[in-house]
Structure 1
Amino acid sequence: MGYELVECERGLRGLLSVSIDRVPGTVYPTGPADFVLVEDCEQVTRQLQRVLEVEGCDYARLEVSSPGLDRPLRRMADYVRFEGAEIDVTLRQVFQGRKKYRGILRLAGKGPDASLELIFRDGKDKDEQVLGFTLDEVREARLVPVVDFKGRGRKDKDAGAAAGEAAEQEPGGHEE
Structure 2
Amino acid sequence: MTSFNEVAELIEPTLRDMGFELVQVRMVGGTRRTLQVMAEPIDRARRMTVDDCAEISHAISAVLDVADPIAGAYTLEVSSPGIDRPLVRRQDFVRFAGFEAKLETEEPVAGRKRFHGIVRGLDEGEDAVLVEQEKGELIKIPFASVKKAKLTLSEALLKSVVAGQD
Q: Equivalent residue of 2:137, what SS?
A: strand
Q: Deviations over 1:95-119 (max 9, x none)?
A: 444321111111366xx53743111
Rounded to whole Å, the distance in 2 between the matches of 1:108 and 1:54 is 38
Indicate if the aligned counterparts of 2:109 and 2:141 stay in contact, CA closer than 8 A: no
Partner of 1:46: 58
Partner of 2:26: 9
User: In percent, how many aligned pairs have the same letter?
Assistant: 30
Q: Equivalent residue of 1:77, what SS?
A: helix
Counting only pairs closer than 5 Å after superposition, residues 105-116 of structure 1 correspond to structure 2 as 105-107=119-121, 112-113=124-125, 115-116=128-129
Q: Which has the higher contact order (CA 8 A, sep 6+)?
A: 2
The structure with the largest alpha-carbon Rg is 1
TM-score (norm. length: structure 1): 0.63
TM-score (norm. length: structure 2): 0.66
Q: Equivalent residue of 1:128, what SS?
A: coil
1:129 maps to amino acid? E
The total of aligned residue pairs comes to 135
Rounded to whole Å, the distance in 1 between the matches of 2:55 and 2:102 is 31
Partner of 1:66: 80
Partner of 2:99: 85
Question: Which of 115, 123, 142 is residue 101 of structure 1 equivalent to?
Answer: 115
Counting only pairs closer than 5 Å after superposition, residues 135-154 of structure 1 correspond to structure 2 as 135-146=143-154, 148=158
Indicate if the aligned counterparts of 1:69 and 1:146 stay in contact, CA closer than 8 A: no
1:49 to 1:73, Cα distance in 2 relative to 1, 3 A: same
Gaps of 5+ in 1: 122-126, 150-176
Rounded to whole Å, the distance in 2 between the matches of 1:92 and 1:56 is 31
Gaps of 5+ in 2: 1-17, 160-166
Indicate if the aligned counterparts of 1:87 and 1:103 stay in contact, CA closer than 8 A: yes
